[in-house]
Amino acid sequence: MTSINAERLKADLGSLGNIGRRPSGGLGRTSFSAEDTEARQWYFDRCAEAGLDVTVDGIGNIIVSSPVADELSDARRPAVWSGSHIDTVPDGGAFDGALGSIAALECLRRIHEDRLALDRPVRCIVYADEEGNYAHLFGSRAISRGFSRSELEALTGRDGDRFVDTFTAAGGDIDRAANAVLPEGTIDASVELHIEQGPVLEVEGIDIGVVTGIVGLGGGTITLRGRSDHAGTTPMNARKDAGVAAGALLASLPCIAAGVSERAVVTSGIVTFVPGGANVVPEAAHVTVDFREPTAEGVAALESALIARTKAIAAEHGLDFDIEFEETVPPAPLDGEVQSIVAAAAKGRGLRHIPIHSGAGHDSQNIATVAPTGMIFVPSIDGRSHCPEEDTKWDDVANGGQVLLDTIIKLANR
Ligand code: HGY
Ligand code: MN
Ligand code: MN
């Protein structure tokens, strides 16, 4: 059985984890930013070092192949894909996405180095903008569902930049981006290694999570529009204060989630007041919302509840409002056969494993719409993620990498 080079995997995770490091100790590699571009160049260098071939598709996904392995396999057959992302949330951790991206590269390097003759070719992928600076799970969505040119032109990032401007400045071509959908049947099967980003595996003393499905999610921006006034001379009962209305909306989020189900979650991570003066009653408040539930009905119910609550608050405060929601990303059940192969791989390595549902969104939920797809989780220390404290034990990193390699080989030869 082929083994990963765990030391190399660990070293690569360590060096990628130094790119985009913030004073807080967290990582800031927002997609298509200078830090993300530096990380992508680092990744290209690792591929070149290993003698692997790299292409970048129309939306910026990086696709890696081994000329040696392709020579030995039937390169005309659809490929087994594995990968994740290397962009991060604004102050994120060193394992979210990076683990699955580097481990997939390590698997392809080992297949390449050992000249494994597999029945199917293997590709490792780095998906662009998984963290949704422009749209949730952007890169994998663009190759599975696609974005029209007008949709791409309407996209803006967290910092208010237009996607087309940032993307073209980073060397992207919008015409290619609008035509990035994969030809049907390109992917034979897909498997992604990822940290759990929750507490279950650690609390239950489990090594490997065999992911059964991924949560559905939606999001966007709710804008409440009032009137700017002097903070000192305007009586409280004469205001159209968008800030106070935004506060009422934020305070109602727990109740909105509980009103849908125990597993529903709603988050607002960015609130912007306009004009943003401490002594000015805000005329507008832009409130981002991210909402999730394991079922499509639950996601739809959250969206309707947020709209209804916004309408009620706007009426109560005498304000106008706008709501701009992205198209929701459907929940994805993962493939039964791939799950069994992951479970058998974990068992084969003497690792404790359980089925587990993902409350985090992943590129795999888009890829699952075009190919049989599975995911492998490893424990997160204290269940923390999307923060500088995000951490995973090196033994778990090595276990995850090995189970990923065993799974890829099994998928390629099944
Ligand atoms: O938001 C998520 O669940 C993922 O990290 N993009
Ligand atoms: Mn993430
Ligand atoms: Mn992730």
Using CB atoms within 10 Å of the CB of residue 308, give its burial: 0 to 12 exposed, 13 to 18 middle, 19+ buried: exposed
Q: Cα of 317 to ligand 1 centre, how many Å?
A: 33
Enter the DSSP assignment of 162.
Answer: B
* Sign of the dihedral through C-alpha 343, 348, 349, 351: positive
pLDDT at 219: 95
Give 360 Cα–ligand 3 centroid separation in angstroms: 7
The helix-helix angle for 394-413 and 336-348 (nearest 10°) equals: 120
Look at residue 75 in the predicted model and tell me its pLDDT.
Answer: 84
pTM equals 0.95
Q: 6-214+332-413, superfamily in CATH?
A: Zn peptidases (3.40.630.10)
- Mean pLDDT within 241-255: 98
Domain boundaries, the chain: 6-214+332-413, 216-325
Atom of ligand 1 minimally distant from the CA of 290: 1
Q: Are strands 122-127 and 373-378 parallel, antiparallel or unpaired?
A: unpaired
Ligand 1: atom nearest CA of 215 is 3
- What pLDDT sits at residue 170? 86
Look at residue 377 and tell me whether its pLDDT is greater than 90.
Answer: yes
Ligand nearest to the CA of 93: 2
Mean pLDDT of 200-212: 98
- Local confidence band at 218 (pLDDT 50, 70, 90 cut-offs): very high
Task: Give 342-350's long-range contacts (Cβ < 8 A, gap of 24+).
Answer: 342/191, 342/208, 342/210, 342/374, 342/375, 342/376, 342/403, 342/407, 343/210, 344/410, 345/403, 345/406, 345/407, 345/410, 346/207, 346/208, 346/210, 346/403, 348/406, 349/399, 349/402, 349/403, 349/406
Question: pLDDT per residue over 120-144, tens digit each?
Answer: 999 999 999 999 999 999 999 999 9
Mutate to test the pocket of ligand 1, among 267, 289, 377, 386 (most ligand atoms within 8 A of CB): 386
How does 330-344 read in b/e, with b if 16+ C-beta sit within 10 Å? Answer: bbbebbeebbebbbb
Ligand 1 binding pocket (C-beta < 6 A) is 130-132, 360-361
Over residues 312-329, the mean pLDDT reads: 96
pLDDT of 44-77, one tens digit each? 999 999 999 999 999 999 999 999 999 999 988 9
Q: What is the pLDDT of residues 18-28, one digit of tens each?
A: 999 999 999 99
Under CATH, what is the fold of the domain 216-325?
Alpha-Beta Plaits (3.30.70)
Pocket test for ligand 1, best of 29, 89, 195, 289 (most atoms within 8 A of CB): 89
Residue 82 has pLDDT above 90, yes or no: yes
For ligand 1, atom 4: residue with the closest CA: 361
pLDDT band of 317, cuts 50, 70, 90: very high
Query: Ligand 1 pocket check: which of 140, 197, 326, 328 to mutate, most ligand atoms within 8 Å of Cβ?
Result: 197
In this predicted structure, the answer to whether residue 192 has a pLDDT above a threshold of 90 is yes
Ligand with smallest separation from the Cα of 127: 3
Which pLDDT band, with edges at 50, 70 and 90, does 307 fall under?
very high
Ligand 1: centre distance to CA 239 (Å):
38
Q: Is the pLDDT of residue 353 over 90?
A: yes
Among the listed ranges 31-35, 185-189, 272-276, 312-316, which one has the minimum average pLDDT value?
Answer: 31-35
Confidence category of residue 146, pLDDT binned at 50, 70, 90? very high
pLDDT at 306: 98
**Euclidean distance between the first and the last CA atom of the chain, given in angstroms as a whole number:** 16
Q: Can you tell me the mean pLDDT for 371-399?
A: 98
Give me the pLDDT at residue 158, please.
Answer: 86
CA of 178 to the centre of ligand 1 (A): 23
Determine the distance separating the centroid of ligand 2 and the alpha carbon of 195, expressed in angstroms. Answer: 10
Given a cut of 90, whether residue 1 has pLDDT beyond it is no
Q: What is the mean pLDDT of the chain?
A: 97
Rounded to the nearest angstrom, the distance between the alpha carbon of 238 and the centre of ligand 2 is: 43
